[in-house]
Every structure is written in C-alpha cells, then in structure tokens.
C-alpha cells in the first residue's frame, strides 16, 4: 500500500449524485455555479504553491457548461471548480492528467470518460502508464466513501490513498511524485510523454505487473489509447483473480 503524508485538512465537502444510491433531480447551471464562494479560488492557491509543474488547460465555455451539468457538482467544491474552470490539468510534464471539461490536449471530460466504466467509483485522473485514480462511491466499501484509490499498473491492485479529492489535488500539485512512482519511470520518460496527448498512454511490454516487466528501461514502449490500458488492466485483473 502506498502512503502519502499530507495531513488532514478541513476543506470543502461535496456530494456528487453519482455517488449516492438515490436518484436526484438534475439541477440547472444557475444552481451549480457558485459566484459567492467559488472553489476555483482555493484550487488556484494550491496551484500557486505547487512544487510540481502544473499546467491548467484552457476550457471551452460550452463544454464546461455541459460537463458541469453532467457532473451535477457545484463550483463551490474543488471538483466542480476543476470541471467548470479547466479543460483539465496536467502535472509533471503531462505524466499525470486530472480530468476537467475536456480540451484539445486532454480530449476527455470527467463524466464522459466515466460512461460505461465501473459502477461504484468515479475516475478522476490517470497517469501515462495506465494508473487510474478513482473516487470511491461504494465499489471499495462504505467505510471509505469519497476516498481516492489508485489502480497501480505494477500490480493491478486498487490501492487506498487515504484522502479525498481536495487532498488528492494537493498531492498532485505538491506531493513527492518521484517517491510515489519509484521504479515506474525510465530514462528519458519526459521526451516520450511529450509526444502523446491526453487520450493516450504508454503501453509497456513485458507488462509492468509481470516479473519480466519490472525494469521499464528495458521494456518495449509505445503510445496506445488510454482506454485500451483501462480495458487491458481490468481484463488481466479478472484473468488473474485480483480483487
């Protein structure tokens, strides 16, 4: 299990309808956009204090409206703010991609990307190796509702990270990514990542979850659709009986 010591922060609390068992009435944009206490102000303070390279991708207003309506999260929350104010956010030269409303460089929006995926969780970000970050909506038990889990490409296990969405953003912006990805980067990874966009990842062979694939410097690597990595990793999880 990975552990990141960030500390407990008293931050904004949000509830996404997708995480609730009961259906909810769709709220209009006027109820979702909070101009009095916008969460984007808070997110911007985290970005300004960032220790890692953070790039906020420009939003398309029409896409932002549509994405916020689909998410049904108010912009008072950090998640709603990221969806509505950004086309997505990339971290560490594009190694990490946090989903917003979609853009040219990251042509996936939060709810659109989750359509047809796994029930009981909300995929909020991923990395180029097909490591996926998800908010628990019940798939990992009731005790950790709202907490982030990470599907690790090196073992195909969903690992609890013991923090919510707000702390997850802070970790992405200022956490020790070198430590988190220890052994999962190779010499010259920045140049390879720069050649792909946010709909792609980097497929490695032998696979990183095999004994033969542990040294990524020796692996064969190529750009593949990130959706392909999601499908591949889940297929192998089923075949190998990983829970």
Q: What is the pLDDT of residues 40-61, one digit of tens each?
A: 999 999 999 999 999 999 999 9
Taking CA 119 as the corner, what is the angle to CA 115 and CA 121, rounded to the nearest 5 degrees? 90
Instruction: Band the pLDDT of 23: cuts 50, 70, 90.
Output: low
Mean pLDDT of 73-94: 98
- Give pLDDT, residue 43: 98
Residue 198 has pLDDT above 80, yes or no: yes
Residue 211 Cα distances to 178, 204, 206, angstroms: 22, 13, 9
- Give pLDDT, residue 25: 85
Could you tell me whether strands 121-127 and 96-98 are parallel, antiparallel, or unpaired per DSSP bridges? antiparallel
* DSSP structure class, residue 112: H
Of 3 and 82, the one with more pLDDT: 82
Mean pLDDT of 137-143: 97
Could you tell me whether strands 96-98 and 54-56 are parallel, antiparallel, or unpaired per DSSP bridges? unpaired
Q: How is residue 214 written in tokens?
A: 């542990």
Residue 158 Cα distances to 67, 89, 139, 191, angstroms: 26, 23, 10, 28
- Give pLDDT, residue 24: 64
Q: How far apart, in Å, do the first and last CA atoms of the chain sit?
A: 14
Mean pLDDT of 144-150: 97
Residue 217 has pLDDT above 70, yes or no: yes
Mean pLDDT of 82-106: 98
- Give pLDDT, residue 243: 82
Full-model pTM: 0.90
Residue 18 has pLDDT above 60, yes or no: no
Residue 186 has pLDDT above 80, yes or no: yes
Residue 6 has pLDDT above 50, yes or no: no
pLDDT digits (tens, 9 = 90+) for 199-214: 999 999 999 999 999 9
How far is the C-alpha of 207 from the C-alpha of 37, rounded, in Å?
46
Mean pLDDT of 176-195: 96
Q: Environment class of residue 151 by beta-carbon count within 10 Å: exposed (0-12), middle (13-18) or buried (19+)?
A: buried
* DSSP structure class, residue 49: T
pLDDT over 70 for what percent of the chain? Answer: 90
């Amino acid at each position: 299990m990975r552990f990141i010591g960030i500390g407990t922060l008293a931050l904004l609390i949000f509830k996404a309808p997708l995480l609730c068992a009961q259906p909810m009435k769709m709220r209009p944009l006027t109820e979702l956009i909070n101009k009095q206490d916008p969460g984007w102000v808070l997110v911007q303070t985290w970005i300004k204090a960032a220790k890692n390279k953070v790039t906020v991708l420009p939003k398309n207003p029409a896409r932002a409206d549509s994405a916020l309506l689909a998410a049904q999260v108010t912009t008072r929350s950090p998640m709603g703010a990221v969806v509505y104010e950004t086309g997505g956010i990339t971290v560490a030269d594009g190694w990490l991609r946090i989903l917003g409303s979609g853009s040219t460089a990251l042509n996936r929006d939060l709810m659109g990307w989750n359509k047809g995926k796994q029930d009981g969780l909300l995929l909020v970000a991923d990395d180029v190796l097909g490591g996926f970050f998800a908010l628990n909506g019940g798939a990992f038990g009731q005790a950790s509702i709202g907490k982030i889990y990470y599907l690790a490409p090196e073992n195909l296990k969903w690992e609890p990270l013991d923090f919510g969405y707000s702390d997850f953003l802070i970790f992405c912006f200022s956490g020790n990514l070198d430590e988190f990805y220890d052994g999962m980067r190779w010499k010259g990874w920045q140049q390879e990542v720069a050649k792909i966009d946010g709909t792609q990842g980097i497929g490695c062979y032998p696979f990183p979850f095999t004994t033969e694939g542990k040294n990524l410097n020796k692996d064969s690597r190529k750009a593949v659709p990130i959706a392909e990595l999601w499908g591949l990793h889940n297929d192998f999880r089923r075949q190998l009986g990983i829970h």
